[in-house]
Structure 1
Amino acid sequence: MNEVYRVPVLEGDRICADAALSLTALAFRIPVEEMTRRERIRLRACRARWSAMYLAHVSFGWPLERVAHAFGLNRATASTACRWAEDERDRADYDHLMEGLELALKRLLDLPRVDLAPEIVKGYR
């Protein structure tokens, strides 16, 4: 039996993790696809993914296990990622970038939700 065990993840958690990945990918100029590959990735992409995991951890207040599950990884990886990112925050440039990403992510999630399929208006579908 070679099936990979996957913990069920709430759709909302996956969407939030995707938002953190997308913002981080934009900030570091690394495609999300490169950051989320299952095979070995280059160091820049790995550190960008770790930054996204840390961003989710601090922005959403998620425990490491929830971060790991939302990103499809294990808790040890999430712990390593957050420990590395926390150490990197000693660098002024990285700290400034992460502060901006945290603010952007929080503002994005504070926006009102808009129904893309409101009730059918008479005469329209």
Structure 2
Amino acid sequence: MHLTAAVSRNYQEETEPPRVSLTSSSGRREERIIELCEGMMDITAALFNVSSKELRSPGRGGLGVSRVRHIAMYVTHVALSVTMRDVGAGFGRDRTTVMYACHLVEDLRDDADFDRMVALTERVALAAFGNKASF
């Protein structure tokens, strides 16, 4: 799967991204983090034309799926300012897995096409979650 083509095909600027409310009825921090990560997985899956079920699977999945998951973790940590520990909990992964994903995505951002995909994902995440992501 070529990620650039998937993003181009699935994202239209005139379409408003889905919004996810981070205000749960109980207001508990852990629930809000999980809700944020779930929403981020759904958004990223839609952007890259990957099954959200595959992103949530406990296994690694193929390279395309794991790369999309890495981007979702990276954007959740960097753009939405969620700690690596919390991102790991929300994605059902370990903190060190999130750290690996963030380092990998940072390194891959040297490629202009990949950087554009990540920047687009960051813009969509910020539009969807805005400053509701503060915990």
| 1:96 alignment partner, one of 82, 103, 116 | 116
More RCO (CA 8 Å, sep 6+):
2
What is the identity, as a one-letter code, of the residue corresponding to 1:45? Answer: V
Q: Kindly report structure 1 stretches of 4+ aligned residues shifted beyond 3 Å.
A: none
Number of matched pairs: 104
Q: Is the 8 A contact 1:51 1:81 kept in 2?
A: yes
User: What root-mean-square deviation, in Å, do the aligned CA atoms of Structure 1 and Structure 2 show?
Assistant: 1.9
Deviation at 1:94, TM superposition (A): 1.3
For structure 2, the 5+ residue unaligned runs are 1-28
Q: Does 1:30 align with 2:50?
A: yes
Q: Which has the higher helix share?
A: 2
Q: 1:13 to 1:91 in 2, by over 3 A?
A: same
For structure 1, the 5+ residue unaligned runs are 1-8, 113-125
Q: How does 1:1-125 map to 2 (within 5 A)?
A: 10-110=30-130
Distance 2:131 2:74 in 1: 22
Deviation at 1:63, TM superposition (A): 2.1
Cα deviation 1:65-91 (Å, max 9, x = unaligned): 121111111111111111111111111
- TM-score normalized by structure 2? 0.70
